Structure 1
């Protein structure tokens, strides 16, 4: 499929003319969130003895499983690694994930004003962002660097344990009261945001970092991103990718990933299986070109190659714009 022209950069600068907010759906404490997660895991344990005939299958790392089983098992992985999430990403990226995340948010420049829209309100939905790494960067960039306090961020994650970590970190890492007031949390499945009450055309910027490869149905998640974005709104994804263009580097990186990371996960976090799944999930994720085409198939407009490689393709940034008028 031929790539369509990318809308001009002003689409990022004038994403919204009115604020769009999602109410805070949870007032429960961290303890209550973890209790709910434990109850859900107990329910899953009682129903996992079989699957419905004809249920669609997908992959969990290198295994083929039903979609419902993948949802349960991914939840288990991220419940396990929630407290050591930064450590996990340090192992997966040699520490480079922090630089990639800074570059990712800087490239989007949330809250950027223009002469015609000074301090324009903007609503950002950060999907699979439970621990707050990207959301906190959005708020710092918008409120401090771009001096725009009218930017609100909703952190959405399917996993209560990850959201619990995000709530705790927000109190520690957001120094300004205005930043904390502009942050909300939403427990939701990215493939069905409607069920969580996210309206059509209510979001200016949709971001997902190192999360989309774990979704049970990536095309469904992309369609939901398209639905909730306003015309002119931007979809932006940062994800581990393929370094195939650099064979020697790629070989060394894969050797490290499959040999060292699960072992270090066992030694450092006491959890080899979760880290084994995470490196397998990277290997199973589509190539940069394949994922770009999936974004286009969901209705977004991309430009150029449709992606930006980072560190030789170990990670990549993908962006798409929801057209003002879909043709």
Structure 2
């Protein structure tokens, strides 16, 4: 069965702690709401990113796969069909991890943050972060941690909502949906309007794919692939170029 190890790695700042509590509150309906609000596209986005990561890894052996901001373990469930390895899920929201424990057979689940990953240097072969980057307190510190624990020549995959200055009509319509309709529907389903108002605002205030690209590369990665799957969603894959 999956393991949950409680580690004292959670930042105690009030704002960050509130985000963790938010995800704890909506954990039971989190996946359902994601599927409903995205019209099922969130499953496709994750599957697409997993396949692309598999493509870049090629036939190289994978011993340990780290899923950061694992939530209920959806990425691990998908990627376990493509990679035969040890999966590690990391998340600061303990209620999310409890659900992941119910859904996963063999993954090791760690309660902690991306800014302080409780793993040794050069200890993982692949890292995946799906829709978690924008909720991190210190992205640069998190990217530095990814660089530290990931082996040289191995890959980081980021799937995230992004901001686009040059978005066309479809982008503006999707933006309107996220800002005006998503918080209402998410609140109706979960009873937590505050949580989905925050999630919508976190998408609206996030950086562009180009800026995220530059941040990742400034921490020792070489971005090899960028794809816009949807007006507000992008895949970025970077190769660890550590000395």
Normalising to structure 2: TM-score of the pair? Answer: 0.90
SS of aligned partner of 1:233 = strand
Q: CA deviation at 1:135?
A: 0.6
Q: CA deviation at 1:92?
A: 4.5
Q: Distance in 2 between matches of 1:121 and 1:258?
A: 39
Change (3 A) 1:103 1:302: same
Structure 2 residue corresponding to 1:165, chosen from 82, 99, 105: 99
SS of aligned partner of 1:246 = coil
Runs of 4+ in 1 over 2 A off after TM superposition: 23-26, 90-95, 110-114, 242-247
Residue 134 of structure 1 is matched in structure 2 by 75
Q: Distance in 1 between matches of 2:62 and 2:134?
A: 30
CA contact (8 A) 1:209 1:239 kept: yes
Residue 229 of structure 2 is matched in structure 1 by 310
Give the greater-gyration-radius structure (CA): 1
Count of paired positions: 240
Residue 107 of structure 1 is matched in structure 2 by 52
CA contact (8 A) 1:209 1:238 kept: yes
CA contact (8 A) 1:110 1:141 kept: no
SS of aligned partner of 1:302 = strand
Change (3 A) 1:248 1:140: same
Q: CA deviation at 1:242?
A: 2.8
Residue 125 of structure 1 is matched in structure 2 by 66
CA contact (8 A) 1:243 1:249 kept: no
Q: Distance in 2 between matches of 1:199 and 1:92?
A: 38
Q: Distance in 2 between matches of 1:25 and 1:250?
A: 39
SS of aligned partner of 1:109 = helix
SS of aligned partner of 2:122 = coil
